[in-house]
Amino acid sequence: MTIYKDILNAVKAQEKLFAVLIDPDKTKITEIANFIERINQSKATHVFVGGSVVAEAATEILVIEIKKHTALPVVLFPGDITQISDRADGILFLSLISGRNSDYLIDKQVKAVSKLVNTNLEILPTGYILIENGIETAVQKVSQTQPISRRHIQLIIDTAIAGEYLGMKLIYLEAGSGATYPISAEIISKVKERISVPLIVGGGISSMYQLEEAYNSGADLVVVGTAFEQNESFFDELKCNESVILNEVEKF
């Protein structure tokens, strides 16, 4: 069974997925064992690894350590080709379709091929849509692209549909790390209504209410990163409220 088939099966069964995003530049290797143990005890289904700016070789070192402590699929969420490691299970092959910088639309993807063809990574073509959230994000700075305004909902929808038309197997709505505002329920629900591929939502989710709202609006997989970096007790809140999440999802 592949990562993508597992996602499709979960969507079909209306089972919501949850990924913890770990940034190599914000994580101490000595703390990984304890952190991953808490992930294993939670409802997490995936571990994402990556960041906008990551030191050379840091990603592979982190992935190797993570794999020692969990059987969950480890998926690369790379900000650059230097973050590719064949020690992971898969990679979100991102195209920043919300921007117009050719480097992040296709150029870096082409440069990544020589590395990817020599790995066993499962390639997950992903249409990546950055949505304005109240602050300038690292993605915006590094990619030198402007996010789509959260008020331009039709443009967001059209961009997501265009991504699917181009053959993307996943659509990822991103508010950015530490976002002031997570992706709104209205945006999530309207995009979900118009696409047939799984929908990933991330950025700015720091409470159980926001997590449940994302699921109930149609997100198939929710990604949380900064909330854990800033407050590891979010794990405890997540465990205490798992039954609430499941009940809300069943209503969806």
CA distance 15 to 35: 24
Residue 104 near residue 145, CB atoms below 8 Å: yes
Residue 235 near residue 43, CB atoms below 8 Å: no
Q: What pLDDT, on a 0 to 100 scale, did the predictor assign at position 250? A: 42
Identify the burial level of 30 via C-beta atoms within 10 angstroms of its C-beta, where 0-12 means exposed, 13-18 middle and 19 or more buried. exposed
**Cα→Cα distances 169→53, 95, 245, Å:** 25, 12, 26
For the entire predicted model, the pTM comes to: 0.93
Structure confidence by residue, pLDDT tens digits, 140-194: 999 999 999 999 999 999 999 999 999 999 999 999 887 888 999 999 999 999 9
Nearest Cα residue to 238 out of 19, 80, 67: 19
CA distance 71 to 69: 7
Give the up-direction half-sphere exposure of residue 48: CA atoms within 13 A in the CB hemisphere. Answer: 22
| Structural domains for the chain | 3-251 (3.20.20.390)
Q: What is the DSSP letter of 7?
A: H
Q: What pLDDT, on a 0 to 100 scale, did the predictor assign at position 248? A: 43
The two three-digit tokens of residue 149, written as one number: 């305004």
Nearest Cα residue to 87 out of 42, 49, 46, 30: 49
CA-atom Rg of the chain in angstroms:
17
**161: helix, strand or coil:** helix
Report which secondary-structure segment, H or E, holds 248.
Answer: helix 242-251
CA distance 252 to 247: 9
- The parts of the chain modelled with pLDDT lower than 50 are 243-244, 246-252
The two three-digit tokens of residue 236, written as one number: 């405890």
Q: E strands of the chain, at which residues?
A: 17-22, 46-49, 74-76, 90-96, 122-130, 170-174, 199-202, 221-224
Q: What pLDDT, on a 0 to 100 scale, did the predictor assign at position 232? A: 63
Q: What pLDDT, on a 0 to 100 scale, did the predictor assign at position 226? A: 66
Q: What pLDDT, on a 0 to 100 scale, did the predictor assign at position 180? A: 87
Task: Give φ, ψ of 128 to 5 degrees.
Answer: -100, 120
Residue 185 near residue 213, CB atoms below 8 Å: yes
58-67 and 32-40 helices, crossing angle to 10° = 50
Q: What pLDDT, on a 0 to 100 scale, did the predictor assign at position 55? A: 87
